[in-house]
Structure 1
Amino acid sequence: MSKTGRTNYRRGARGTPKSDRQIVVHGVRRDQPDLRKLSRAVIAMAMREAELQADIDQALTGTHVDKSTSEEQADAMESADD
């Protein structure tokens, strides 16, 4: 209760639950995402995950996995973008 004797409309009366509020959502129009940048990020993540999985497999089995092919592919992608 306030000094004027009115209850606060946001709090409600003491001991009673708050009333439900309406939630309003406004759509925001944005530019199209940069698909080239997103695809490069996804490819980089997939290559990194494959390298980590190869390292785990190598540690478990004791075999050697050649990583030069993935590095060459990454270099080729970067040079193609320029």
Structure 2
Amino acid sequence: MQLGTRWTAGEEPPAAVPAALRPAIAQVEEATGPAQAGNPKSRWTLTWLEGRPIAEMDSGVIVELNADGEAVVRHDPDDEFS
């Protein structure tokens, strides 16, 4: 069993975040831009499902590895912010 971790968008991801996810996470953060004044920054949560890492931003954006080991970005359609 692997435990997940959380970190604030814009900060260096923890060492537990696989290198294969980092470029896609950086692209998502660049696309979403900095937090607006008075609004808190988004946070990421890293979890593991069947041995694969999944990073999910509070906004519902998900970065995960596909079966080929490539990072893919998607949005959770069930997220309340979608």
Higher RCO, 1 vs 2 (CA within 8 Å, ≥6 residues apart): 2
Work out whether the TM-score is over 0.5.
no
Q: Which has the higher strand share?
A: 2
Calculate the TM-score normalised by the size of structure 2.
0.24
Calculate the TM-score normalised by the size of structure 1.
0.24
